[in-house]
Structure 1
Amino acid sequence: YQLSRVSTQQQQHLQQAKKQLDGLQNRLLKENSDWARFAPALLKDWQTWLAAEIENNENIATREIPNPFYFSKPLNPNMGSEVFRGREATVQHIERLLCDSQQSLSIVLLAPRRSGKSSLLKMLPQLLPQAVFIFYDLQDNPAEHIEGFFYSLITQVKTQTYVERSITLPDRPNETTLSQSDAWFKQVDEQLTQPLLICIDEFERLPTLLPNENNDLLRLMAWFRATIQHRQNVRLLISGAAAFDELDRIWDDHFINLQTLKLPHLSADVCLDLLRQPTAHFPTEVMPPAVAEYIIERTQGQPYLTQALAGTGIEYINYHGLKQLELSLMDVIEQQVLERCSGYFRDVYYSAPKAAQPLFYRLSHGETLDLATENKAAVRWLKQRLLITEAGEVNIPLFARWVRDWVERD
């Protein structure tokens, strides 16, 4: 509680402590030990202190500026729906594809990491209620063989379909072999009268999910291809950061007839509206236009970094008892963001191909390069992650600062 700087988090700790003390009080009523006889006086002292702390914390919270910016987890309908902005065109495109019953198209959604793919997927059930969305997380459902993959996938489909749409699907087969699982999905496809979209995030992880023995990956990819080609209502939406031309030919061979959607950074207009009026009751004077424009210039609309700069800024002025962000504060706030988001920066930078890392390093240090003479695959990788512009300049100045401050030249 005392280590937390945010009053809302402090309030959660205090309420949890109150719940524990109330539980202890109920236990004491049922006990007849020596400890139970002298403990109530001590317990009352703690309850008196806790009540005063809760009241004081509530008073502080009323003076604090509410922080509506989320950057630690993806947005969802229950948390952060008001700050979900700028994806209307993508949602409409997905809706058109789902409504096209003649082609029954599946979708691949491409965007750099922390660009809002997962948030978009989690918001789709609320935005497009005419379809059933199944979220299958490869990290949460590890499988050593194809039967294990289908067991967890079918379980997720049955559970989520019932919870989200009150639709009861056929019982899971006793054995989730490829043939029996395919037969089950055929039954589901015939039963449904609306699209069922199986959403698989970070599809690039599939080769590490299944071993090469027994050709499990090839067999699964063949099932994906058959589903894309032959199922009317059961469809796929795979999302990731890597385009197929960066991966093994297995992807091009099996993921045919997919509609590719690319998720761009947020536009300047969307960012300005998001930063100055993230919620209906947010005081616009907290985020002056000059500060909002500074954040936009530093992040270029990268969703995660935009929310991180804004959210860290609100935390900073609340902690220091200020009422407004100022340009003079932003350098210190940026330094905090560079440290707090270092996991994101490291993941993107060090996952780059070996030829791309020194190229981005040099650009971040202000060198002017002729991209026509550089490694073409490295340039394409950086462009597809929106790290550099078509003209060969650094796209996200905040990322370039992290490289200058945190990365040593090899």
Structure 2
Amino acid sequence: MEPINPYIAGNPITGAEMFFGRQDVFVFIQQALIGKHRDNVIVLYGQRRTGKTSALYQMPRRLGPRYVSIFIDLHGLALEGLDSFLWELANSIARGLRREYRIELAPLARDAFRANPRHAFENEFLPRVWAALGERHLLLMLDEAIRLQEQVQARKLEPETFAYLRYLMQHFERLNFLFALGEGLESMTKEYASLFSVGLYKKISFLEPAAARALITQPVQEFFRVQDSAVERILEITSGHPYYTQLLCHSIFNHWQHTRAAEIDAAEVDAVVDETVERGLAVLKHVWEESTPAEKAILAGAAAAMGEASAANHPVTPEAISHALKQRQILVPSEERTQAYKSLLARDVLVGGEQYAFAVDLQRVWIFKYERPEWVRDEIKPALRKWATPPPLPPPPRFLSPETPTRRAPASSRARLWWGGGIALVVLLMLAFLLLPRQFRAPFLVAFQPAATATVTARAPTALPTKTATRPLPTATSTPAPTQTVANADGAPTPFPTPTTVFGRGVKIVYTSGVPGCSTIGLLDLDSNVERIFKPEPNNEEPSWSPDGAQFVASTGDCGNKEYFLTIFDAATGVSHRLETNCDKNIDPYWGKDNRIYFACGSRNDNGELFSISPDGADLHALGMSARRPTLSPNANLLAYMRQEDNVWRIWIAEIDDTGKVGNLRQLPFPQVLGGVYARQPRWNSDGTRLFFNITDQSSLQAIALASVELETNQTNVSFINADNNTPFVRPVCGKNNVCVAGGANGGLWLLKDEDGALIPQRQLTFGEEYGADIFP
């Protein structure tokens, strides 16, 4: 019997035999779906063909008996009006219950849905479902949810459909929703985006390496052995993208059927690459067609800069890409380039930071073959003309210039008479005033003098950051309280609320100041406005207060990033001493409420090994995990940290007991933000019910948004960071009484108040290069 090709190239995987990996997706859904008071809406999103539909098909096997899961492909519904949509939705649910769970419902009356669709669905259909399910919940898994927006835009479905779906989410506790999207919120219309704004998001991307290797080797192990070199070559070409991995392995199996070799090597993988590109033409072309002109130029330039189609997918610099485009007379403006790189990174088309490569090498091969820069130049010609057109000149000034006097139109005789009469009247009044005796003139002179209090004017200090540290080094100095009005670069006042008084007494802030990697530590007492500077080493950064506020710990060392030490400072005297940790790179120190110092040992570019140590240098304890930025909750029961997996930073929390043992690790939701790739810098709020963290881009690690997650509900909140008004949401840290401090987008530190997860700016404290603060109490 002829062996049958086991790989599935194109269709979703409905069975369990050919489904590999995604354990993180199922764990996320199991943890995030169930809420304390009501269940959450889940949104899976990612590139086309990354396995979202396949994951939905596996869901009934992965969720417990609490949920009855019904898969509904919205591409299979007509969606022509709300009555049609609800009628088709009800029939899909009834069909799924009958096929998957052998639950029969009474037939539905189509006329009832035509007459009053909402009443028919809520009051006739759903009661039948609840009666059949008992105490179980109904989980609707809606695939290709973009179809709702498409039908509304085509005017075949009422826009009110989105509001009605939100109504169902909020008012039917046993009706749960899981959506699969092929794109993010930034590309949605306002009404469509509002439907998913209440959801918890999970991105589905490439397979983890172990799952990808299992997909490559296990289905064919009874026919032939895939050499390790061939496995690595397949991963180089596909990067573990599930569709492309299945497609390439499908081509390899077809090739094997002619050779019947006992083993497959890397050369046989390369032999079928061109065939695989041709078979994947539709998906590869779709990535191209949904790209903007600037993105197409960047992709074509990157492929050209890398060389021949058979060459390796090696990283190239943006300068090399721009050079390749310039040689073909393609000039992309700087703002367009920046946005193109951000979008291509967010869509998993490119990977990298200072240098870029294709996420999937097959995409590079296809672009090099079919979309060379000289051909792309013709395709994006309208955009090139637009980019080459200079912006319109501003209107000429309306004031008179001596170099270019403006010619006035002649005045009419009536206007000249009015002007002449007015001038004459003024002259007569002045003469009459001068002829009055002095005693009669004095009251008028007094009356027109300005009041004494009106001579005081407030001068707004600049909020622009300085290039170097500007404060003297050694001793305490008295600093006047900063003026409350902060000016933007254009002189307009920043639209923040009027400052309030300091929250209680004894508030002290310790922070890093200067160029990152070669910094000093500052301490600001808000009661006395006295500031002190600490610099025992060339580089001193990341200070963290002790629980009693008498000391703080920091990472100190040289400016060459060769060694970092844990150093404890006496806040009153400035005396410092090092802790011995048997590590030459001690970073991210955090002094917990359990009076232990948590830190990472390792490079700043990757995960480090987490440790804790007592302040006297005794009892060094390894936590047994690789991560960064450990921070202990106020009750000392939870440890939050950021961790990099598959080149992506996310925020995690773990339970920690009195012995320092950690367990029950879980990743926090990552809210989708345009250009946002990483979650970094976790910090607790005052009572430990919420975690704040920054969302950054991939290349510069610049914070573009502040996010927070409420631990009890997993609900997220996002505030965007805008350099134009120096938004103070960079790396916030909170002390007691909801007092918080954060950095501004353009530098400096701000005092904020936490109001139910929203940080409200109160006043700007510093105006230089200050960051990485901690607050006491």
Which residue of structure 1 lines up, in the alignment, with residue 283 of structure 2? Answer: 344
Q: Distance in 1 between matches of 2:339 and 2:104?
A: 48
Q: Per-residue CA shift, 1:344-374, capped at 9, x if unaligned?
A: 1112211223332222222222363269854
Q: Using structure 2 for the length normalisation, give the TM-score.
A: 0.42
Q: Is the 8 A contact 2:105 2:129 kept in 1?
A: no
Relative CO higher for 1 or 2, CA cutoff 8 Å, sep ≥ 6?
A: 1
The DSSP-based 3-state class of the residue aligned with 1:239 is: strand
Deviation at 1:386? 1.0
Identify the structure with the greater strand proportion. Answer: 2
Q: Is the 8 A contact 2:149 2:192 kept in 1?
A: no
Which residue of structure 2 lines up, in the alignment, with residue 88 of structure 1? Answer: 23
Deviation at 1:188? 5.5
Which residue of structure 1 lines up, in the alignment, with residue 364 of structure 2? Answer: 400
Deviation at 1:161? 1.3
Match status 1:141 vs 2:72: no
Amino acid at match of 2:318: L
Which residue of structure 1 lines up, in the alignment, with residue 317 of structure 2? Answer: 368
Amino acid at match of 1:140: G
Amino acid at match of 2:340: A
Q: Distance in 2 between matches of 1:334 and 1:277?
A: 21
| Structure 2, unaligned runs of 5 or more | 306-315, 322-333, 377-777
Which residue of structure 2 lines up, in the alignment, with residue 293 of structure 1? Answer: 232
Give runs of aligned pairs for residues 201-350 of structure 1, distance below 5 A: 201-210=143-152, 213=155, 216-278=157-219, 282=222, 286-350=225-289
Q: Is the 8 A contact 2:75 2:144 kept in 1?
A: no
Amino acid at match of 1:72: G
Which residue of structure 1 lines up, in the alignment, with residue 340 of structure 2? Answer: 378
Q: Is the 8 A contact 1:136 1:200 kept in 2?
A: yes
The DSSP-based 3-state class of the residue aligned with 1:217 is: coil
| Structure 1, unaligned runs of 5 or more | 1-57
* Residue 117 (structure 1) aligned to one of 33, 49, 52: 52
Match status 1:126 vs 2:61: yes
Q: Is the 8 A contact 2:43 2:196 kept in 1?
A: no
Match status 1:161 vs 2:97: yes
Q: Distance in 1 between matches of 2:178 and 2:218?
A: 32
The DSSP-based 3-state class of the residue aligned with 2:358 is: coil
Q: Distance in 2 between matches of 1:352 and 1:365?
A: 18
Q: Is the 8 A contact 1:117 1:263 kept in 2?
A: yes
Q: Per-residue CA shift, 1:194-243, capped at 9, x if unaligned?
A: 221212222122222246659x4321101111122222111111112211
Distance 1:163 1:373, change over 3 A: same
Q: Per-residue CA shift, 1:29-65, capped at 9, x if unaligned?
A: xxxxxxxxxxxxxxxxxxxxxxxxxxxxx3xx2xx5x
Q: Is the 8 A contact 1:338 1:402 kept in 2?
A: yes
Q: Is the 8 A contact 1:86 1:266 kept in 2?
A: yes
Q: Is the 8 A contact 1:189 1:231 kept in 2?
A: no
Deviation at 1:291? 0.2
Q: Is the 8 A contact 1:75 1:119 kept in 2?
A: yes
Which residue of structure 1 lines up, in the alignment, with residue 37 of structure 2? Answer: 102
Q: Using structure 1 for the length normalisation, give the TM-score.
A: 0.76
Q: Distance in 1 between matches of 2:105 and 2:352?
A: 48
- Structure index of larger Rg: 2
Distance 1:128 1:334, change over 3 A: same
Q: Per-residue CA shift, 1:75-95, capped at 9, x if unaligned?
A: 112xxx222111111112212
Amino acid at match of 1:112: Q
The DSSP-based 3-state class of the residue aligned with 1:200 is: strand
Deviation at 1:147? 1.2
Q: Distance in 2 between matches of 1:185 and 1:240?
A: 27
Deviation at 1:190? 4.7
Distance 1:227 1:376, change over 3 A: farther
Count of residue correspondences = 342
The DSSP-based 3-state class of the residue aligned with 2:318 is: coil
- Which shows bigger deviation, 183-192 or 137-146? 183-192
Which residue of structure 2 lines up, in the alignment, with residue 49 of structure 1? Answer: none
Q: Percent identity?
A: 21
Deviation at 1:273? 2.6
Q: Is the 8 A contact 1:286 1:325 kept in 2?
A: yes
Match status 1:69 vs 2:10: no
The DSSP-based 3-state class of the residue aligned with 2:357 is: coil
Q: Distance in 1 between matches of 2:282 and 2:43?
A: 26
Q: Is the 8 A contact 1:170 1:184 kept in 2?
A: no
Identify the structure with the greater helix proportion. Answer: 1
Which residue of structure 2 lines up, in the alignment, with residue 152 of structure 1? Answer: 88
Amino acid at match of 2:97: T
Q: Distance in 1 between matches of 2:106 and 2:32?
A: 27
Q: Distance in 2 between matches of 1:353 and 1:165?
A: 46
Name the Cα RMSD after superposition: 2.5
The DSSP-based 3-state class of the residue aligned with 2:219 is: coil
Deviation at 1:390? 4.2
Distance 1:135 1:85, change over 3 A: same
